[in-house]
Each structure stands twice: as structure tokens, then as C-alpha cells.
């Protein structure tokens, strides 16, 4: 079945231009209109049954403001998603309402959004039944225990944790500490946190190493670091962008040199400034682009529900090395 992207590619125009030709919402030159219409006929493209003229050209981003949400990561995701939506002739509407699913349902219906993207997905996410009942193209950024045939997208955090342990165990580390998200994130059962923790446990059993886990926020960095040092860890995995710089500062204040005294892997967007940290990147911008593309595909009737987890990549830099004292 031909999609709007196929028509756009064949006509040499953007998908939004095809949408404008069909809906008549914006002026398109006669030559471009004829070219698009010709490709529509040749490819046998059919818009979704409700018709493009019924669209609001809005996508809603459900981004609840909850404790422990990493604002910088959300901003990178939102910026990329907004740009991607514009490429499809769509606008992105930010909905930060949280709490009662019924109130959220009314907000979503009132927004007239054609499709939805939901952030901060939890294992038992109360929004899933509501989103299922709305029956609108939806992408969940995370994987709940029961997605109810709703498309899910995220980094493969279980595999990301495995990469961290594989790398550190290969260097000879036998005691590894995790500085994880704030306790509120774990209390909610946020998908990426639980999958990363499970990946650490599974990988540590495979390698025969010990892993010590601590939740951390910006007010508890020192106690978190002190507690892990007390367990004699020789490496830290930091899965909390908000505390990464304070953790590095705290290690320096304790006279610990990275990587000679403590190896560090960051799970986040980059390797520090300057870029020195061994990192498993969380590609927030790429995820934002893909989320929009997957919603648009659903709007165009392409494909069915899927769970798509991006394979993680480990960038080895100068913050990891063999431990100075082997267990």
C-alpha cells in the first residue's frame, strides 16, 4: 500500500506538500499540484478513511511534570520532535497535565490532536487504558507491562546496562556501583529505570561481578557517592544526567582521580565537556524524530503496533581503565 511518503518521494516534494494538495489548506503551485496528483493516481495512494480534511494537523506530546524527570533530556526530545512535526506540516502541542486519566482524556480530546506521544511511561501506566479507548495513533516512549497493542519506542536500556557491565568486567572490575535516577522515578516504576536495573543484574550474574545500586538526586550526591565508596566499588555507572557533574566534582573533592582511582561510565546524551567520559548515549533527539515519524505512519495507515527498541552504543573514552587494585 502506497503511503504519503511514497507519493512525496516520487513527486519530489515534502509529505506536507502532498497533504496540502489533498486538503487544499494551503496554496500549492499548479505545476506541483499536477505532479503530486499524477503520482497519487500512479501509486494508487488513498488517504486514511476519515480524510485529511478532518485533520487538525496537531500532535499532542503528553509530558507530565513529575519528580525526577530529566528536564534537559525532555527538552532535547521535544525540540527534535517539534522540528520533525513541522517537516510533516504538523504542529506539536505540549500537554503537561498529570493525575486522573479522565481529566487527561478530556484534555486530549479538547486538544483535537490527530496523534499522541506519551513520555515518562511506567510499568503499570494508568494512561494506557485511556489511550487505548481513544483509538488515536499513539507512540509510548517506554514499554509498559501491558501496552495493549499501542506502539512503543525507546532505547534498549536492558542492553545498554549490559554494555556497561561487559566493558567494565572486561577491564577487570569486580565491584560496580550504579548511581541511578531519583527515588521518585523508581517509585513510579518508570520503564527505562526498571529495564536498566534488570539489565545490570542480568549482566552482573553472567560476569560474576557485584553491582551496588543507589538512587540519587541533586541533594544526595555526596551521601550516594560515599555509600558506594564504602562498598569498595572501583567503577561507577551514572544513569542520571542531572547529577553527573556533581558526581564528578565530588569524586575530585575526595581526591579520587578518574580513571586511575575510579572508572566512570555516563548513560546520557554526551561524554561531558570536554568530551572525555565513556558513554552509552541516550539519543533523545533521534527518539523525538522517530516518534513523530511513527505517529505519521499510523495516520497514513502504515504498519501495525510494534515495540521498537534502538540498539545502544558504547563510546569508550578516557574515563574507564583497569582498576588500580584488583579484587
Query: What's the distance, CA 101 to chain centroid?
Result: 22
DSSP symbols for 256-287: PPTTTT-EEEEEES-STTTT-SEEEE--HHHH
pLDDT reported for residue 143? 97
Residue 20 pLDDT grade (very low, low, confident, very high; cuts 50, 70, 90): confident
Q: Enter the CATH code of domain 4-52.
A: 1.10.260.40
pLDDT of residue 211: 98
- pLDDT at residue 22 above 80? no
Domain boundaries, the chain: 4-52, 57-156+284-310, 157-282
Which of 3.40.50.300, 3.40.1190.20, 3.40.47.10, 3.40.50.2300 is the CATH number of 57-156+284-310? 3.40.50.2300
3-state SS class at 122: strand
| Polymer length in residues for the chain | 327
Looking at every residue in the chain, the average pLDDT score rounds to 90
Instruction: Report the largest interatomic distance among the alpha carbons of the chain, rounded to a whole angstrom.
Output: 75
State CA 317 to chain mean position distance: 23
Q: What is the pLDDT of residues 183-202, one digit of tens each?
A: 999 999 999 999 999 999 99
Indicate the pTM of the whole model.
0.82
Q: What is the CATH number of domain 157-282?
A: 3.40.50.2300
Query: Is the pLDDT assigned to residue 279 strictly greater than 90?
Result: yes
- Are both 57-156+284-310 and 157-282 of the same fold? yes
C-alpha–C-alpha distance, residues 245 and 59, integer Å: 34
Provide the pLDDT confidence category of residue 270 given band limits of 50, 70 and 90: low
For the ranges 17-26, 175-184, 271-280, the lowest mean pLDDT is seen at 17-26
174 near 233, Cβ under 8 Å? no
pLDDT of residue 105: 82
Q: 152: which 3 cell numbers?
A: 512503543
Report the Cα 192 to chain-centroid distance in Å: 9
Average pLDDT of the segment spanning 75-97:
93
Quick check: 47 pLDDT over 70?
Answer: no
Amino acid at each position: 500500500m502506497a503511503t504519503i511518503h511514497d507519493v512525496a518521494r516520487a513527486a519530489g516534494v515534502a509529505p506536507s506538500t502532498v497533504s496540502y494538495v489533498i486538503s487544499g489548506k494551503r496554496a500549492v503551485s499548479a505545476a506541483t499540484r499536477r505532479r503530486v496528483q499524477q503520482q497519487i493516481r500512479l501509486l494508487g495512494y488513498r488517504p486514511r478513511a476519515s480524510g485529511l480534511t478532518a485533520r487538525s494537523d496537531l500532535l499532542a506530546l503528553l509530558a507530565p511534570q513529575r519528580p525526577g524527570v530529566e528536564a534537559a533530556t525532555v527538552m532535547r526530545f521535544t525540540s527534535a520532535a517539534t522540528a520533525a512535526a513541522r517537516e510533516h506540516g504538523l504542529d506539536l502541542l505540549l500537554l503537561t497535565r498529570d493525575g486522573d486519566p479522565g481529566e487527561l482524556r478530556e484534555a486530549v480530546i479538547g486538544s483535537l490532536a490527530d496523534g499522541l506521544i506519551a513520555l515518562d511511561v511506567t510499568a503499570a501506566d494508568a494512561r494506557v487504558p485511556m489511550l487505548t479507548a481513544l483509538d488515536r495513533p499513539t507512540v509510548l516512549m517506554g514499554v509498559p507491562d501491558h501496552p495493549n497493542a499501542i506502539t512503543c519506542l525507546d532505547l534498549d536500556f536492558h542492553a545498554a546496562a549490559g554494555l556497561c557491565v561487559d566493558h567494565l568486567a572486561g577491564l577487570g572490575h569486580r565491584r560496580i556501583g550504579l548511581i541511578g535516577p531519583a527515588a521518585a522515578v523508581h517509585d513510579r516504576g518508570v520503564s527505562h529505570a526498571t529495564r536498566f536495573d534488570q539489565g545490570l543484574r542480568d549482566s552482573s550474574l553472567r560476569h560474576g561481578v557485584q553491582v551496588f545500586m543507589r538512587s540519587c538526586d541533586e541533594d544526595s550526591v555526596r551521601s550516594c557517592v560515599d555509600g558506594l565508596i564504602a562498598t569498595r566499588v572501583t567503577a561507577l555507572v551514572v544513569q542520571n544526567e542531572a547529577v553527573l557533574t556533581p558526581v564528578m566534582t565530588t569524586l575530585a573533592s575526595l581526591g579520587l582521580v578518574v580513571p586511575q582511582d575510579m572508572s566512570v561510565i555516563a548513560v546520557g546524551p554526551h561524554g561531558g565537556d570536554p568530551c572525555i567520559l565513556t558513554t552509552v548515549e541516550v539519543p533523545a533527539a533521534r527518539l523525538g524524530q522517530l516518534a513523530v515519524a511513527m505517529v505519521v505512519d499510523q495516520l497514513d495507515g502504515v504498519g501495525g503496533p510494534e515495540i521498537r527498541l534502538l540498539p545502544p552504543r558504547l563510546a569508550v573514552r578516557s574515563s574507564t581503565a583497569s582498576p588500580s587494585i584488583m579484587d
